Structure 1
Amino acid sequence: MSTWKAFPHPADAFDYDGDKLWKHWERLHAGDQEPWPEDDASREAWRAYHRGDFQNAVALGLKAETASGMNAANKAQSIYATYLVDDEDEKKELFEEVADRAEVATKEYPDSINAHYQHAYALGRYSQAISIAKALTQGLAGKCKASLDKTLSLADNHAEAHVALGAYHAEIIGKVGSMVGSLTYGVSKDASEAHYEKALELLPHSAIARVEYANGLLTLYGNKRIKDATKLYEEAAACEPMDAMEALDVAFAKSELSDD
């Protein structure tokens, strides 16, 4: 494995050594509902993830050989690929790896909330990388939706799954239109917005929920909702990050505003 890029922002505030991780766990995992890991190895993987040491988080998480360790590894690799990888082939390869590992994890740990969610997340990002049209042709949308539905059946307050479902509805409509989307895939604009709103209700401090909601509005309505989307980007840019992923979310929101 080649050396991954370093986390590009100050990370001192994201050091959750010792009992700091326990004290902040509920806030750090409000979005994904990951249970507190009972073993030291998995906790170390999550500490590495939260401070942005993504490559080490993957190594530690896989070494732990637990559901929580696997989830830490998969989330670290997915966030790294989402934000810090520019090469499209490398990005697709990283997401494929996560999707494959997570699929195995759903069978080995069927009650692990984030085994199912990470499977859906990686498939969704992979679909974006190859194009939504190709993903629909390959049947990836159905697999992604099934894993998101399973996630919510295990934890109906999983805000990140609601965000992903909002994007699922929006991106299919953006590609095939409302009528075909409704008849063929059962998607709708109302459902998309409802999932985004539910995510913000569950996770009011979230930058990424706002960013994805803004992206969804632009996909669904174009410039008709540009003011609403801009407001969401502005709110996201003003969020206070608690870990490396959130810092990358906020930085992305700021970059979207600077591009306008």
Structure 2
Amino acid sequence: MAKWTAFPYDAAGYRYDAATLKKQWSRLHLGDAEPWPKDDAVQAAWALFHAGEFQKAHEAGLKAGGAGITVANKAQAIYANYLEKSEKNKLAMFMEIAERAAAQQADEPNNANAYYWQAYALGRYSQGISVAKALAQGLGSKVKTALEATIKLQPKHADAHIALGAFHAEVIDKVGKLLGKTQGADAGTGLKLYREALKLHPGSAIAMVEYANGLVMLEGDKKMAEAEKLYADAAACTPMDAMERLDVEMAKAELED
């Protein structure tokens, strides 16, 4: 496997041993509601993930199998989204995650994150090839169905609420309200999902950034001041791990634009 781009920030504050990882687990996984893993090898893979060792976390997760597949999928998804420089590699990675998550669903039909990572990967892939093209390929309904399954299995899954809100906003933004309706997209539902995500995870920088993006997509310039306040709040968040650091840095970049 080609060497992945290294996490570009100081990760000293994001290194957890088994005891500190368990202590901080509920806070670190407020977004994805992943249960504490019983397997030591999976715990070790998660520690690598939180420290920004995404390639090692991915490999360790695959090797551990079972609950480790979720670590592998998350590590690869976050890496591809934020750090992979080649668009071609990024798209290939997202498709790989989507396929692996679909296989995980077959093995574990009650695993909320098996549906979530399939949806996340297909959603990011769709953004990469253009939302309109993805909708024509039927990917929109796959993303929506998988996210709805995630929330049904785990109603406190903040990240799935964000992603489903983004689905509604992106579809309406790209094809309009009328065509969006044929895809099951609705502006009011999207905004409600973003607000619900922030209720579930009030300190989530990514929820604030995505809500800001959604407000602008759905409501236009009249919501720009509210969006900028959300970006500023997100940029001021204190990250607990490498992924959250990437979210905060993205919020800072949005503020500068």
Instruction: Give the TM-score of the pair, scaled to structure 1.
Output: 0.97
1:75-154 to structure 2, matched below 5 A, reads 75-154=74-153
Distance 1:22 1:159 in 2: 20
Cα deviation digits, residues 59-107 of structure 1 (max 9, x gap): 00000011x2000000000000110012211110111110111111111
1:175 Cα deviation (Å)? 1.2
Q: What stretches of structure 1 move > 4 A for 4+ residues in a row?
A: none
Letter of the aligned partner of 1:41 in structure 2? A
Distance 1:133 1:157 in 2: 30
Q: 2:225 maps to which residue? A: 227
1:3 Cα deviation (Å)? 0.6
1:14 Cα deviation (Å)? 0.6
Letter of the aligned partner of 1:130 in structure 2? I
Distance 1:248 1:79 in 2: 9
Q: Secondary structure at the match of 1:19?
A: helix
Does structure 1 conserve the Cα–Cα contact (< 8 Å) formed by 2:70 and 2:114?
yes
Q: 1:57 maps to which residue? A: 57
Structure 1: which 5+ residue stretches go unaligned?
none
Letter of the aligned partner of 1:29 in structure 2? H
Distance 1:12 1:185 in 2: 44
Structure 2: which 5+ residue stretches go unaligned?
none
Distance 1:210 1:190 in 2: 17
1:179 Cα deviation (Å)? 2.0
Q: 1:212 aligns with which of 206, 210, 213?
A: 210
Distance 1:71 1:99 in 2: 11
Q: 1:258 maps to which residue? A: 256
Q: 2:246 maps to which residue? A: 248
Q: Which 10-residue stretch deviates more, 234-243 or 223-232?
A: 223-232
Does structure 1 conserve the Cα–Cα contact (< 8 Å) formed by 2:18 and 2:43?
no
Distance 2:41 2:110 in 1: 20
Cα deviation digits, residues 36-73 of structure 1 (max 9, x gap): 1010111111111000000000100000011x200000
C-alpha RMSD of matched pairs (Å): 0.8
Q: Give identity over the alignment, percent.
A: 54
How many positions carry a matched residue from both structures? 257
Cα deviation digits, residues 217-247 of structure 1 (max 9, x gap): 1211222211111011000000010000000
